[in-house]
Amino acid sequence: MDDVKASILSAIGNTPMVRLNRTGCRNIEIYVKLEYYNPSFSIKDRIAIGMIEDAERKGIINKGDTVIEKTSGNTGTGLAIACAVKGYHFVTVMSAGNSMEKAQMLKALGAEVVLVPQQPGEDTDTVSRKDNEAVERKTDELTEKLQAYRPNQYINPVNYLVHEYTTGSEIIKQTDGNIDAFVAYIGTGGTFVGISSALKKFRKDIKCYPVEPESAQFLAGKPVITTRHKIQGGGHAVKPPYWDESLVDGYLSVTDDEAINVARYLAAKEGLFTGYSGGANVAAAMKLDDSMKRGSIVVTILPDTGLKYLSSDLYKFDD
């Protein structure tokens, strides 16, 4: 019975890594870590269980309590699974600009979903900075009203520590330490900061590159043209509270079209079905091809599955 998990929570982590074979890159090899192998099909399962168990150890929550979180959907689904297994009532607050598959999945997992309408003038299928701020206000209001515990992935240090001790360590082990660069799209910043911390502690010469939308290169210090982009889960022109500039070796950016086209390539040519940020990560990694030595290994993340975006522009095709 060694292969039987005590619960679905024991199935989080230890996700596989795959080499891409048809990128057309001449100098670099790109390895992707398939985080949609987690139970809710997203990398956010890691921080969800980490934040809940941290709160339990500190005596902040007890069975039957209410947990609330602002999310673009993926952290919410991870928390919904953790709360379902552990006996908490979970409320998730998200923008109506996120894909509806995420909201439907949250409801199926027993979560109470509060959808915040998009702000006047904002585009559908996007979550702008204004939309994000509206969700934050609603979350604050409901947290006080419900007397709920909010893990708050945006400021909770467990967010990046989980990635340092699990995701980062897994990457080092899976590559046998043979890694030259790491690339990750910036949402809360936890994935990049945590994994980059692990990699830099392992070997200081590993290059780490955060990725932003081309129209909102805020962390790179460039003028923000607009936060109305399609790469969900980040790019809101906000500096993460635990951002560590010492981990950054350079900034990369991608357009909506680049993220979409590469996500579609991954599905059609590599058999890897991912979302917007997965496409953005690989598109950004490919941009390192001309600047790195032949045989260099670049690692990035496929944070979630394309199944969560079937109603969006990502997988709409002209017949």
Q: Hey, is 11 helix, strand or coil?
A: helix
- 100-103 long-range Cβ contacts below 8 angstroms, 24+ apart: 100/311, 101/307, 101/308, 101/309, 101/310, 101/311, 102/72, 102/73, 102/74, 102/76, 102/77, 102/308, 103/73
Residues 214 and 142 in one domain: no
Residue 3 lies in a domain: no
Q: What is the separation of C-alpha 211 from the centre of its chain, rounded to a whole number of angstroms?
A: 12
CA dihedral 301, 306, 10, 195 (to 10 degrees): 10
CB atoms within 10 A of CB 220: 14
CB atoms within 10 A of CB 25: 18
Residues 179 and 234 in one domain: yes
Residue from 51, 11, 13, 3 nearest 33 by CA:
13
Residues 168 and 259 in one domain: yes
The residues annotated with a catalytic role in the active site are 44, 277
Q: Report pLDDT digits (tens) over 162-187.
A: 999 999 999 999 999 999 999 999 99
CB atoms within 10 A of CB 50: 24
Residue from 99, 130, 129 nearest 115 by CA:
99
pLDDT for the residue numbered 17: 98
Q: Map tokens 């670099």 to a residue.
A: 28
Q: Domain total for the chain?
A: 2
Residue 158 lies in a domain: no
Half-sphere exposure of 125 (CA within 13 A, CB side): 13
Instruction: In whole angstroms, give the CA distance from residue 34 to residue 56.
Output: 29
Residue 130 lies in a domain: yes
CATH of residue 54: 3.40.50.1100
Instruction: In whole angstroms, give the CA distance from residue 9 to residue 82.
Output: 7
Residue 155 lies in a domain: no
Residue 156 lies in a domain: no
Residue 97 and residue 127 in contact, taking contact as beta carbons nearer than 8 Å: yes
> Both tokens of residue 35?
């985080």
pLDDT for the residue numbered 319: 61
Question: Of 146, 174, 203, which one is at a domain's C-terminal end?
Answer: 146
Residues 106 and 12 in one domain: no
Residue 191 lies in domain: 8-37+163-315
Question: Of 89, 115, 146, which one is at a domain's C-terminal end?
Answer: 146
Residue from 269, 266, 254 nearest 306 by CA:
266
Q: How far is CA 237 from CA 26, 221, 310, in A?
A: 33, 10, 26
pLDDT for the residue numbered 1: 62
Residue 157 lies in a domain: no
Q: Hey, is 263 helix, strand or coil?
A: helix
Q: Report pLDDT digits (tens) over 180-210.
A: 999 999 999 999 999 999 999 999 999 999 9
Low-confidence ranges of the chain (pLDDT < 50): none
Residues 171 and 299 in one domain: yes
Residues 72 and 189 in one domain: no
